[in-house]
Amino acid sequence: MFSSPVRTVMVSELDPAAPIAPGTTLLDVREQDEWDAGHAPGARHIPLGELPRRVSELPVDERILVVCRSGSRSARATAWLEQGGYDAANLDGGMVAWAGAGLPVV
């Protein structure tokens, strides 16, 4: 679908004390039931299928760190956001990696 790889952030690169750096928005593109089962504190929830019509809800002056369950849907969302001029990166391993690293889930 997209020819070039997207920028990726590894969970190990995040600060465990403050995983979402100032000036960064964590965007969760999972479905509602996945979100309800547990998500990162402070994340914005816009399911992947709703992103094109809700993209205006995202700040244009911040980096967008995109997360899904394992990193596949978020990679697609990241590529789409980058094409639209957003500073976006994919969280490698998604919420599986996030929770596995002991980062907070609510």
Q: What does the pLDDT look like over 48-57, one tens digit per residue?
A: 999 999 999 9
Q: Is residue 60 part of a domain?
A: yes
Q: Is 56 contained in some domain?
A: yes
Which residues constitute the domain of residue 51?
A: 8-100
Say which CATH number the domain at 46 has. 3.40.250.10
Q: Could you say which of 46, 48, 65, 68 is catalytic?
A: 68
**Per-residue model confidence as pLDDT tens digits over 56-101:** 999 999 999 999 999 899 999 999 999 999 999 999 999 999 999 9
CA gap 41, 24 in Å, rounded: 13
Q: Residue 88: which H helix or E strand, with range? A: strand 88-91
For residue 105, tell me if it sits in a domain.
no
Three-point CA angle 7, 21, 9, nearest 5°: 25
Q: Is 23 assigned a catalytic role? A: no
Q: Please, are residues 81 and 64 in contact by the beta-carbon 8 Å criterion? A: yes
- Chain centroid to CA 21: how far? 13
Q: Is residue 1 part of a domain?
A: no
Residue 106 located in a structural domain:
no
Evaluate whether residue 89 is within a structural domain. Answer: yes
- What total number of domains does the chain contain? 1
